[in-house]
Amino acid sequence: MSERRSIVLAERPAGHPTEDNFRLEKGPVPEPGEGEVLARILWLSLDPYMRGRMDAAKSYAAPVELGAVMEGGCVGQVLASNDPRYAQGDYVTGQFGWTSHGVLKGDALRKLDPAKAPLQYALGALGMPGLTAWVGINRILEAKTGETVVISAATGAVGSLAGQLAREKGCRVIGVAGGPKKCAHAESELGYDVCLDHHAAADGQAMADRIAEAAPGGVDCYFENVGGKTLDGVLPNMNVGGRIALCGVIAWYSGANLDDATPLPKVWRTILVNRLRVQGFIIFDHFDQFPHFVDEVAPMLADGRLRYREDVTEGLENAPKAFLSMLEGGNFGKTLVKVAD
Ligand SMILES: NC(=O)c1ccc[n+]([C@@H]2O[C@H](COP(=O)([O-])OP(=O)(O)OC[C@H]3O[C@@H](n4cnc5c(N)ncnc54)[C@H](OP(=O)(O)O)[C@@H]3O)[C@@H](O)[C@H]2O)c1
């Protein structure tokens, strides 16, 4: 059997992460213990939450230890199994990490049927990011027909599905994305009514003006993925009784741009005056919704009502570069690494 290759956390980043924070390590392929399954990894998902795992600071999940394999969701094929529910050749998904071969308890795995959907969808549209979009629109925002919804990171893994789900509900959907190519895609392929390029807005005030133009009746729901000047632009446009699903603040993950943010007293007052409901959510509190989500979304993907785009990098050794690029908006669609055929 071939050697195992893994990307480990070499050092903690100071501010923006760099490739030096990661190290490729080689070693023997691990043996599965009792109740465990060994898989060779085919696909690795790269997600913004991994930036948080690189820091030692307290968060909703434990950090990756220095020298440990970076955390990550994967699709793999079973090589050996000590769990009767899994046989050699089965396809599974689980948190194996940034590695070519991984071992997990059978309880931590979900079996995949390659006839139902492309295997890697389990890491995107039919996995954690898709569920996040579905929960945000349906359970947190409770978006209704005729309402105006703004989605930031509008063409990304979460945003692209959130925007389309809002459109399917009969909402007016305004996207915010980085660059004319992404905005054109949002309007022509994803069915956004309009998409605003945040690179073209110098600051929060400029963004607020553009949102006011796109949403003359104000904004009822905001699916917040980024923070920064996009949040500054949306806040003054929120309608009375509006809702904000606080899903992520990627503009601030490495501590950048914090000094330019709208001061808290101003934000607080806006929430009060407009009687806004702001709800942060972390998707692992909502995994019980997974079957409802799949029942609704899988047919919409299969019949083409929902469009889904992937941004694939070949080779595990290129995962750090692809991850850093995603944090800066270099991805166009769900970020994946093809680890093996
Ligand atoms: N709460 C949860 O449980 C949960 C679960 C999954 C994801 N999330 C969050 O959801 C958000 C989207 O995640 P994703 O997996 O779908 O990633 P993604 O949107 O596919 O990729 C990240 C995108 O963020 C945007 N971005 C980066 N820096 C930005 C900045 N300074 N200002 C504005 N936009 C910026 C870029 O899009 P543009 O080029 O369009 O700017 C980039 O493509 C992240 O904040 C993530 O942490 C939260």
Q: Which two tokens stand for residue 310?
A: 């992937």
CATH of domain 128-283: 3.40.50.720
Estimate to the nearest angstrom the gap between the alpha carbon of 21 and the chain centroid. 22
Burial class (CB in 10 A: 0-12, 13-18, 19+), 2: exposed
Q: How does DSSP assign 192-222, residue by residue?
A: -SEEEEGGG--SHHHHHHHHHHH-TT-EEEE
What distances in angstroms separate CA 43 from CA 248, 322, 330, one per listed residue? Answer: 24, 14, 19
Q: What is the pLDDT of residue 270?
A: 96
Q: Ligand 1: which of 250, 260, 326, 332 to mutate, judged by most atoms within 8 Å of the beta carbon?
A: 250
End-to-end CA distance of the chain: 16
Question: Tens digit of pLDDT per residue, the chain (341 long)?
Answer: 589 999 999 999 999 999 999 999 999 999 999 999 999 999 999 999 999 999 998 889 999 999 999 999 999 999 999 999 999 999 999 999 999 999 999 999 999 999 999 999 999 999 999 999 999 999 999 999 999 999 999 999 999 999 999 999 999 999 999 999 999 999 999 999 999 999 999 999 999 999 999 999 999 999 999 999 999 999 999 999 999 999 999 999 988 777 778 889 999 999 999 999 999 999 999 999 999 999 999 999 999 999 999 999 999 999 999 999 999 999 999 999 999 99
C-alpha torsion sign, points 324, 327, 331, 337: positive
Q: What is the pLDDT of residue 332?
A: 98
Q: How many CB atoms lie within 10 A of CB 170?
A: 12
With a 6 Å cutoff on the Cβ, whether 158 touches ligand 1 is yes
Q: Which two tokens stand for residue 285?
A: 């509190």
Q: Among candidates 317, 310, 242, which has minimal Cα distance to 272? A: 242
Q: Ligand 1: which of 44, 226, 284 to mutate, judged by most atoms within 8 Å of the beta carbon?
A: 226
Q: Among candidates 282, 294, 146, which has minimal Cα distance to 220? A: 146
Q: Measure the CA–CA gap between 153 and 72, rounded to whole angstroms.
A: 21
Q: Which two tokens stand for residue 323?
A: 């991850």
Helix (H, G, I), strand (E, B) or coil at 271: helix
Q: How does DSSP assign 278-334, residue by residue?
A: EEE--GGGGGGGHHHHHHHHHHHHHTTSS---EEEEESGGGHHHHHHHHHTT--SSE
Q: What is the pLDDT of residue 253?
A: 92
With a 6 Å cutoff on the Cβ, whether 50 touches ligand 1 is no
Q: Ligand 1: which of 47, 139, 158, 328 to mutate, judged by most atoms within 8 Å of the beta carbon?
A: 158
With a 6 Å cutoff on the Cβ, whether 282 touches ligand 1 is yes
Q: How many CB atoms lie within 10 A of CB 302?
A: 11
Q: Where are the domains of the chain?
A: 4-124+309-338, 128-283
CA of 226 to the centre of ligand 1 (A): 6
- DSSP assignment letter at 31: P
Helix (H, G, I), strand (E, B) or coil at 104: strand
Instruction: Please identify, by atom number, the ligand 1 atom nearest to the C-alpha of residue 246.
Output: 1
Kindly report the protein residue whose alpha carbon is nearest to atom 6 of ligand 1. Answer: 129
Q: Measure the CA–CA gap between 333 and 158, rounded to whole angstroms.
A: 9
CATH architecture of the domain 4-124+309-338 equals: Alpha-Beta Complex (3.90)
Q: Measure the CA–CA gap between 313 and 244, rounded to whole angstroms.
A: 33
Name the amino acid, one letter, at 256.
A
With a 6 Å cutoff on the Cβ, whether 157 touches ligand 1 is yes
CA of 69 to the centre of ligand 1 (A): 23
Q: Among candidates 155, 159, 153, which has minimal Cα distance to 133? A: 159
Kindly report the protein residue whose alpha carbon is nearest to atom 38 of ligand 1. Answer: 178
DSSP β-bridge partners for residue 172: 148
Instruction: Please identify, by atom number, the ligand 1 atom nearest to the C-alpha of residue 248.
Output: 45
Q: What is the pLDDT of residue 260?
A: 75
Q: What is the pLDDT of residue 1?
A: 53
